[in-house]
Structure 1
Amino acid sequence: MSENNVKMSSEQSEKKISQARSFTYYIFALFAILWLYTLWADRVTPMTDQARVNGQLIRISPEVSGPISQVHITNNSSVKAGSALVTIDPRPFELAVKAARLELQKAAQSYEADSAAISVAQANEVAARVKVENAKKNVERNRVLAQKGTISQASMDDIIAELETAQAGLAQASSALEKAKQEFGPRGIDNPEIQSVLNRQEQALLDLNRTILLAPADGVITNMDVAVGDYAGIGQPLLTFINNSNLWLTAMVRENSLAHLETGDKVKIVFDAYPGEVYEGIISSVGWGSSGNGSLAQDTSNGLMTSPTSSAKAQRFPVNIEFTQLPDDLQLRYGGRAVVGFYPDENYLGERLQDFWIWAWSYISYVS
């Protein structure tokens, strides 16, 4: 009996060892399959958790210097295009305008002419010119974004229409000024002294108009750290403006995952701020360069998005994504994190597995 027991015990031990060995093989096989799947999926259905909500961010700087006399908005408040943000003390500039008008009146007395009409027409022309300058800056800022595919052509058309309206207003104001000058008389207007006074008055009016900093578009003001009494210097940023009505997603994608990605490909998006929800979008453009750590930061030396350069791993390149079918009550914030799955239509099974991972991640992100 003892020999049988020993034999049975030996057989059971060998059976357990065999089962453990088989289980180990299954584990290794499972990991091998998962590893091969990730390599395959990284090419045909790439996915990245390094995505951020991006948008037009503008550091608003004054074009004249002086103490701040009024702050018209509060931190993180919404603003409309052209609304006043901050006013620099206008009194020195008003005195400069008054002095220029007195000089013009003095010069006009020599020719027995009335300078009031010219002063009014010139003030209107300067205000129209400032409006055109702001509209041109807005067009130039957005033209770069449109060329990159990060804003829609419809948005760009609206911005260009605003510039055309401003230019029409300037043309009308310039015509009124020219009419006032003609009524002043050719002998007076061609006089170098009067022309010099007119130039000084125009510059004074231009500086006075620039004492009020205006919102470049509809959006929000954030990270505001200004108060009445602070000194504003020319070219020194005072406010941060974000155009939250025109946001997009920038995903930093590994270069070996870019092979099948093209403009117009469908993507699915999970935002950390909205767990359990999956949203859709399309690729609007794929970046051609990067340099740094994969965030929304740019390398100041070349203007490219940053991606790790000290690592031997594949670099990451920015892929811009345009949102589709977003609900009206969805509130996205600049820099908000997201997970993105790409659907380049390369493999049906891979995309269905991607659907599962995106769904799972929409809940995993809630507890991560």
Structure 2
Amino acid sequence: MSSTPQSKIALIHAEEAAAQEAAQDSARADKRKGLFLRFGLGVAVAALAYGGYDYFVASRHVETDNAYVGADVAQISAQISAPVQQVLVQDTATVRAGDVLIRLEDTDARLALARAQADLALTLRRVRGLSATDMGLGAQVAARAADQARADAALIAARADADRAAIDLKRREALAASGSVSGEELSSARNAAATAQANLRSAQAAVALAAANRDAAAGTREANRVLIDGTAPDTHPEVLAARAALEQARVNLERTVIRAPFDGVVTRRTAQVGQRAEPGKALMVVVPVQTAYVDANFKEVQLTKVRAGQKVTLTSDLYGSGVVYHGTVVGFSGGTGAAFAVVPAQNATGNWIKVVQRLPVRIALEPKELAAHPLRVGLSMTADIDIAR
């Protein structure tokens, strides 16, 4: 049976539809292949970019935002006990090194200084008196030596008199048996001999007394000389001690004026007029903002290649990324923050979980950049260390 024109047209349309569908399927397949190819190319480019970034950038830098500004603050306290007379600064005030912060009542310090000056003058006079006393004691020793010489001479004379009286007595006693000497004359000779012996003993006692007096005078002079031997009045130990007491009194008077130890900003002021300042009790704190540093707490796994002297770039939350600071790694803390915590972690338990520790790294900042954009203690920072150098 022969086909009609209509059926032939329908067949042609069907064939055309099938061809179009096949073409569309081929186009979709080509499109999918292109998409997969572009996706694979994108993944490869991303992997290559990541690898390049990791090799050329990330592997040469370590970064943390766990970093904070610090400074070696000065705690201002009195070094003597005295009432506060004046407080010349308030919190947030900027001070220069040497500026007066607090004045203490100085009446007691001035009196102590005057007393120390008087003590020094008295000590100098006493020491000079010791030198003069030495001269007087020397004269006494010479006088006692002369007394001893006179006593020695008197002893010689008394011994001679005693010998002569003894001889005269023996002669008269020898003559008394023959009656040539009267009893009265013999008694007189005996009395003269006894008197001569008494004078001899008195002379001997006088010699002993003179020797003792000379030794006493010599001992007194030696004791006085020990106090001044080898020293001048200005270098005498008592004078030096009095002069040291005077210097201490002068220093205490100077300490009634409390000054700023360096440039900085005043904070935590507790000093009030009338309050009694005691040594060691904090009155205020001065923060040296121009010498601030940064303590960056890096993870322990980041510190393998970090060394002192490496350069650091930093940004602060205060100024944002528009202000970049440059610094240098100074050193590392002696332990992690957990190790120096008030209550250190106790890992010797059954429920221990490993936690990556952080070690503070001290970073010094450029002074010129700090002067241009001052920082305050405790501000947050982001630190990036170039470990390629």
TM-score, length basis structure 2:
0.52
Superposed, 1:222-301 pairs within 5 Å as 222-292=267-337
Residue 343 in structure 1 maps to residue 386 in structure 2: yes
Q: Equivalent residue for 2:191?
A: none
Alignment check: 8 A CA contact 1:76 1:220 kept: yes
Residue 64 in structure 1 maps to residue 80 in structure 2: yes
Alignment check: 8 A CA contact 1:68 1:88 kept: yes
Q: 1:256 to 1:101 in 2, by over 3 A?
A: same
Q: Which runs of 5+ in 1 are unaligned?
A: 1-21, 114-185, 347-368
Q: Equivalent residue for 2:70?
A: 54
Alignment partners' CA distance in 2, 1:56 and 1:276: 26
**Deviation of the 1:328 alpha carbon:** 4.6
Alignment partners' CA distance in 1, 2:370 and 2:245: 53
Alignment partners' CA distance in 2, 1:271 and 1:286: 21
Residue 82 in structure 1 maps to residue 119 in structure 2: no
Q: Equivalent residue for 2:119?
A: 103
Alignment check: 8 A CA contact 1:55 1:242 kept: yes
**Deviation of the 1:48 alpha carbon:** 1.0
Alignment partners' CA distance in 2, 1:311 and 1:81: 50
Letter in 2 for 1:221: V
Q: 1:211 to 1:299 in 2, by over 3 A?
A: farther
Q: 1:300 to 1:187 in 2, by over 3 A?
A: farther
Which of these residues, 326, 329, 338, is aligned with residue 372 of structure 2?
Answer: 329
Provide, for residues 249-268 of structure 1, a one-character-per-residue CA deviation record: whole Å limited to 9, x for no partner: 11011110011222333332
Q: Secondary structure at the match of 1:201?
A: helix
**Deviation of the 1:101 alpha carbon:** 1.9
Q: 1:317 to 1:42 in 2, by over 3 A?
A: farther
Q: 1:261 to 1:104 in 2, by over 3 A?
A: closer
TM-score, length basis structure 1:
0.55
Q: Which runs of 5+ in 2 are unaligned?
A: 1-35, 130-230
Which of these residues, 251, 254, 262, is aligned with residue 217 of structure 1?
Answer: 262
Q: Secondary structure at the match of 1:53?
A: strand
Sequence identity percentage: 24
Q: Equivalent residue for 1:200?
A: 245
Alignment check: 8 A CA contact 2:83 2:275 kept: yes
Alignment partners' CA distance in 2, 1:199 and 1:300: 44
**Deviation of the 1:330 alpha carbon:** 0.9
How many corresponding residue pairs? 239
Residue 318 in structure 1 maps to residue 332 in structure 2: no
Alignment partners' CA distance in 1, 2:323 and 2:265: 26
Provide, for residues 268-287 of structure 1, a one-character-per-residue CA deviation record: whole Å limited to 9, x for no partner: 22211112424142332231
Letter in 2 for 1:199: A
Alignment partners' CA distance in 1, 2:306 and 2:232: 69
Q: Secondary structure at the match of 2:72?
A: strand
Alignment partners' CA distance in 1, 2:67 and 2:281: 31
Letter in 2 for 1:319: V
Alignment partners' CA distance in 2, 1:230 and 1:203: 24
Q: 1:308 to 1:84 in 2, by over 3 A?
A: farther
**Deviation of the 1:104 alpha carbon:** 3.2
Q: 1:311 to 1:273 in 2, by over 3 A?
A: farther
Alignment partners' CA distance in 2, 1:195 and 1:282: 51
Q: Equivalent residue for 1:146?
A: none
Q: 1:249 to 1:327 in 2, by over 3 A?
A: closer
Q: 1:292 to 1:308 in 2, by over 3 A?
A: farther
Letter in 1 for 2:67: A
Alignment partners' CA distance in 2, 1:44 and 1:102: 72
Q: 1:84 to 1:300 in 2, by over 3 A?
A: farther
Provide, for residues 66-121 of structure 1, a one-character-per-residue CA deviation record: whole Å limited to 9, x for no partner: 211111222121222122211221111111111222333445566899xxxxxxxx
Provide, for residues 29-72 of structure 1, a one-character-per-residue CA deviation record: whole Å limited to 9, x for no partner: 9xxx9xx9999988653221111112221212222112111112
Q: CA RMSD in A?
A: 4.0
Letter in 2 for 1:84: V
**Deviation of the 1:292 alpha carbon:** 2.8
**Deviation of the 1:189 alpha carbon:** 2.9
Alignment check: 8 A CA contact 2:336 2:360 kept: no
**Deviation of the 1:236 alpha carbon:** 1.7
Q: Equivalent residue for 1:170?
A: none
Alignment partners' CA distance in 1, 2:260 and 2:102: 10
Q: 1:314 to 1:96 in 2, by over 3 A?
A: same
Alignment partners' CA distance in 1, 2:303 and 2:236: 67
Q: Secondary structure at the match of 1:252?
A: strand
Alignment check: 8 A CA contact 2:86 2:104 kept: yes
Alignment partners' CA distance in 2, 1:71 and 1:293: 40
Alignment partners' CA distance in 2, 1:209 and 1:223: 24
